[in-house]
Amino acid sequence: MTSVKFGLIGGGVMGEALLSRLVAQKVYQPSEILVSDPQQQRRDFLAQKYGVEVTTDNRLVVTNTTEVLLLAIKPQVFDQVALEFADWQVAGETTTVSLVISIMAGVPLKKLEVTFPRRPVVRVMPNTPATVGAGMSAIAPGKYIQPQNLELARNILQSVGKVVEVPESSMDAVTGLSGSGPGYVAVLIEALTDGGVCAGLPRAIAYQLALQTVLGTALLLQESQMHPAELKDRVTSPGGTTIAGIAKLENAGFRSGVIEAVMAAKAKSQELGNS
């Protein structure tokens, strides 16, 4: 096995998303990656699919050749994992880790920097479209981050989509919007599909129409740089079908419902961070 350069603790959905893209884009060779996960089935799957080394020992992912440590675990188990690195301040002197990346919702930088003292740490909120390379990640840099550390973090996260930098004070809001947002969009697509069925369309056709409409609208807004309100105005003719539908959405509180969803998810992220 080649010396480990990328250590991953947590081989779940988001951990795998980053892993798959890093391997596919040859950012790291499979032989340079070591993944720690407590589930035997998950370890076997990742080893077979991506050719990476796996372990149950979180400490093994940090060697004297490791460049990046990625924490992709649930925030509720971080305290337990942190105990395994209680002597990091001593052991860390013998490692070459130049960056610690956390994608845990709600876990603040100050808590991460207690576990990994004097190390460059970035807190990141990605989202599930990262699994197809279309993710959105927000980075909040810690106090020991240098420009080269931030550039390394960007290079890794750009393998799964787009990246923006925000202050840590905005991370709970990011979680409520883009972190949880794919769930809201999925509900919208499902609702559009059900609406099509209610209007008399076969479900398979309704789903295809709903999915492509959402995808196409997003691409149109992205490529044209048009404001969503402008697009809405362009497709709502006087007394027409679209404005009739929008009037019903407004009457049902659609807009305020989405806003409340973002705020509720933000509040939950804050709660997780304080637990």
pLDDT tens-digit map of 93-131 = 445 677 999 998 888 999 999 888 888 999 999 998 988
CA distance 264 to 163: 24
204, burial (CB in 10 Å: exposed 0-12, middle 13-18, buried 19+): exposed
The torsion region of residue 240 among left (phi > 0), alpha (psi -120 to 50) and beta comes to beta
CA distance 71 to 171: 16
What pLDDT, in 10s, does the model give residues 55-106? Answer: 999 988 887 788 899 999 988 889 888 888 877 554 444 456 779 999 988 8
| Angle formed at CA 105 by CA 166 and CA 77, multiple of 5 degrees | 145
Out of 3.40.50.1110, 3.50.50.60, 3.30.420.130, 3.40.50.720, the CATH code matching 6-171 is: 3.40.50.720
- The confidence score (pLDDT) of residue 275 equals 66
- The confidence score (pLDDT) of residue 225 equals 96
143, burial (CB in 10 Å: exposed 0-12, middle 13-18, buried 19+): exposed
- What does the block give as tokens for 171? 């991370």
Q: Give the number of other Cβ atoms within 10 Å of residue 112's Cβ.
A: 21
- The confidence score (pLDDT) of residue 123 equals 95
Domain parsing of the chain, residue ranges: 6-171, 181-274
| CATH number for the segment(s) 181-274 | 1.10.3730.10
User: Which amino acid is it at 220?
Assistant: L
The answer to whether 154 and 177 have CB atoms below 8 angstroms apart is: no
Q: Which of 120, 151, 156 is nearest to 137 (CA)?
A: 156
CA distance 105 to 272: 7
Q: Which residues of the chain have pLDDT under 70?
A: 1-2, 88-96, 275
pTM of the predicted structure, to 2 decimals: 0.85
CA distance 271 to 204: 40
- The confidence score (pLDDT) of residue 131 equals 85
- The confidence score (pLDDT) of residue 91 equals 45
- The confidence score (pLDDT) of residue 96 equals 61
- The confidence score (pLDDT) of residue 236 equals 95
